[in-house]
């Protein structure tokens, strides 16, 4: 989502997000493992319009 702002990209991973029921992407990945990673990836793809 933020290809030109590395700091913002990293901060996004630890920021609570309504799309993840108020959890951070890192929390989703930690709780669900590989399926959580796929969930976050699908969200990012959707946001980029892929």
**pLDDT of the chain, 50 residues: tens digit per residue:** 677 888 988 899 999 999 999 999 999 999 999 999 999 999 999 998 86
Query: Which tokens go with 39?
Result: 């969930």
Q: Name, in order, each residue with C-beta under 8 angstroms of 33's C-beta and a sequence gap of 6 or more.
A: none
Give the domain ranges of the chain. 6-48
The pTM of this model reads 0.83
How far is the C-alpha of 41 from the C-alpha of 49, rounded, in Å? 12
């Amino acid at each position: 989502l933020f290809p030109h702002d590395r700091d913002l990209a990293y901060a996004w991973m630890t920021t609570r997000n309504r799309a993840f029921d108020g959890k951070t992407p890192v929390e989703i990945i930690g709780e669900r493992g590989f399926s959580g990673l796929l969930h976050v990836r699908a969200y990012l793809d959707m946001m980029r319009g892929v």
